Amino acid sequence: MKCWRVRPLPGGSALRGTMRVPGDKSISHRALILSGMAGEVEPEIENLLESEDVKATREIIRKVFGGGTGGEEKGSAETQKPKNAAEGGDPVLELDCGNSGTTIRLMMGVLSGRKGCCFRLDGDASLRRRPMERVAAPLRKMGACIETNEGRPPVRIEGRELIGTRVQLSVASAQVKSALLLAGLQATGTTEITSPAPSRDHTERMLNYFGVPVEGSGNGRAVAVRGPASLAPRPVSVPGDISSAAFFLVAAALIPGSELSIENLGLNPTRTGILDCFDAAGVSWEAQGIETVSGEPRGKVSVRAGEFSAFGIAGDLVPRLIDEIPVLALLAAHSAGGLSVFRDAAELRVKESDRIARIAEVFGRIGLVVRTRDDGLEIPGGQSVRGGTVSSGGDHRIAMTAAVAGLVSREGVIVEDVACVETSFPGFQETVERLAPGVIEAIEG
């Protein structure tokens, strides 16, 4: 098993300079999916994230829209096309989503409208534990034919004629909203989706950019698309992923003397909740040179280390920073004092792992006190990381949070099971090593 040994940054050294992080994962998935739906199976995408999750989407787009299995020469005997059951032969196209919730959920919307074709979507052990009825149930209201395995993958879909419908979501999930919008493109009539809180709007922005108007896009809770609609493919440039940048922004805030800038960073307001937390806590940061490229704002964000206070996370802020909560919990433990309460975040329990339980387990092993709630965490400030050995539990964001904890620890942290980091941040170890030579090494555990 691949592990990391992370040493504390030597006294007096800090994180300084200007860096970049890999392309945004959410935007990369959407660029491949929307381009595929627009007939571009091998699109030119600048700064596409080359991670395992995005590779899963790329392979699926090739199989579904390109008629190929991905690795073979074009037109070879292995070429598989989804077959109409009436034509005989194996009618089911098997699609492997790996660890990626975004791939399976968005593709459920895409495939539901592929009339005459049959698909089976599956993934790894973590994905097989994640809820899919939140997508399947509203899609069925549009006429989709979907079977789940007691609510979880594998998911079997028979493409059908879809009808635009009004849907009220019970969770503020961009994956569910996006699946319905992508189904809505293929449906007859208007598909209107209302969410309990705004969630990331990359799908809406990219649909608009590809020539399909989405009503109510922006920060609203209700969005609508009229089908059937066809997409006009356009070149996409992917900004850096703020969820990947979060590890370095927090590390820079914590390590005395640090002053770190991250350029070309995605700054979509539905994703910048971490910067709201910095404001609430008094962490010093600034954004410069903001411009909009292929429908998404980006710019340079700089953070400076200094003292900061406890901060809360609740309500509409939660979807704007949901993936950053593990590393924000580490930040909260180092506040000058007081209690940081993170609530309304029960969604954390159904991510790549139960992140509430995982954070409590990992923090406990490295000497940090944290109390769990059903819907979040309570984290006393004024703490510092002792060190120890922890397991990521196969969750990439837990692995990278534990690595940052190692940098600010007294005794160092061994992080077990770090291969999962490839799902979102290939090159994380090398990026840490460039900023702080000698602090991180890969070991076999």
To the nearest whole angstrom, how small is the minimum distance from the Cβ of residue 7 to ligand S3P? 30
- Measured from the CB atom, the residue of 158 and 323 that comes closer to ligand S3P is 323
Please identify which residue in 28, 103, 148, 173 interacts with ligand S3P, judged by CB under 6 A.
173
- Measured from the CB atom, the residue of 133 and 347 that comes closer to ligand S3P is 347
Residues in the chain: 445
Quote the CA–CA distance of 147 and 120 in Å, as a whole number: 9
Q: Choose the stretch contacting ligand S3P; rule: CB under 6 A; options: 169-177, 217-225, 282-290, 359-367.
A: 169-177
Q: Choose the stretch contacting ligand S3P; rule: CB under 6 A; options: 6-14, 66-74, 158-166, 171-179.
A: 171-179
- Measured from the CB atom, the residue of 102 and 383 that comes closer to ligand S3P is 102
Evaluate whether 174 touches 347 at the Cβ level (below 8 Å): no
Q: Residue 256: name the closest of 17, 19, 15 by CA.
A: 15
- Measured from the CB atom, the residue of 139 and 322 that comes closer to ligand S3P is 322
Q: Cα 122 to chain center, whole Å? A: 18
Helix (H/G/I), strand (E/B), else coil: 224: strand
* 327 is a contact residue toward ligand S3P (CB under 6 A): no
Quote the CA–CA distance of 55 and 423 in Å, as a whole number: 9
The CA–CA distances, whole Å, from 102 to 94, 344, 358 equal: 17, 21, 21
Query: What dihedral angle (degrees, nearest 10) is formed by the CA atoms of 397, 29, 348, 433?
Result: 10
- Measured from the CB atom, the residue of 26 and 261 that comes closer to ligand S3P is 26
Phi, psi of 342 (to 5 degrees): -110, 115
To the nearest whole angstrom, how small is the minimum distance from the Cβ of residue 41 to ligand S3P? 21
Please identify which residue in 9, 26, 258, 321 interacts with ligand S3P, judged by CB under 6 A.
26
Evaluate whether 249 touches 260 at the Cβ level (below 8 Å): yes
Other beta carbons within 10 angstroms of residue 114's beta carbon come to 18
* 409 is a contact residue toward ligand S3P (CB under 6 A): no
- Reply yes or no on whether 344 is catalytic: no
Residue type, 416: E
- Measured from the CB atom, the residue of 102 and 258 that comes closer to ligand S3P is 102
To the nearest whole angstrom, how small is the minimum distance from the Cβ of residue 26 to ligand S3P? 3
Identify the active-site residue in 24, 323, 395, 417.
323
Angle at CA 392, nearest 5°, toward 391 and 395? 160
* 174 is a contact residue toward ligand S3P (CB under 6 A): yes
To the nearest whole angstrom, how small is the minimum distance from the Cβ of residue 42 to ligand S3P? 22
Evaluate whether 208 touches 217 at the Cβ level (below 8 Å): yes
Number of residues located near ligand S3P, criterion CB under 6 A: 10
* 158 is a contact residue toward ligand S3P (CB under 6 A): no
Paired tokens of 16: 């300084």
Query: What dihedral angle (degrees, nearest 10) is formed by the CA atoms of 310, 314, 318, 322?
Result: 50
* 126 is a contact residue toward ligand S3P (CB under 6 A): no
Q: Which of residues 328-357 bind ligand S3P (CB under 6 A)?
A: 347
Q: Choose the stretch contacting ligand S3P; rule: CB under 6 A; options: 170-178, 206-214, 251-259, 415-423.
A: 170-178
Q: Which of residues 306-325 bind ligand S3P (CB under 6 A)?
A: 322-323
Other beta carbons within 10 angstroms of residue 339's beta carbon come to 13
Cis (ω within 30 of 0) for the bond into 22?
Answer: no
Please identify which residue in 165, 175, 353, 391 interacts with ligand S3P, judged by CB under 6 A.
175
Structural Rg of the chain based on CA atoms: 22
Where along the sequence are the contacts to ligand S3P (CB under 6 A)? 26, 102, 173-175, 178, 200, 322-323, 347
What are the catalytic residues? 323
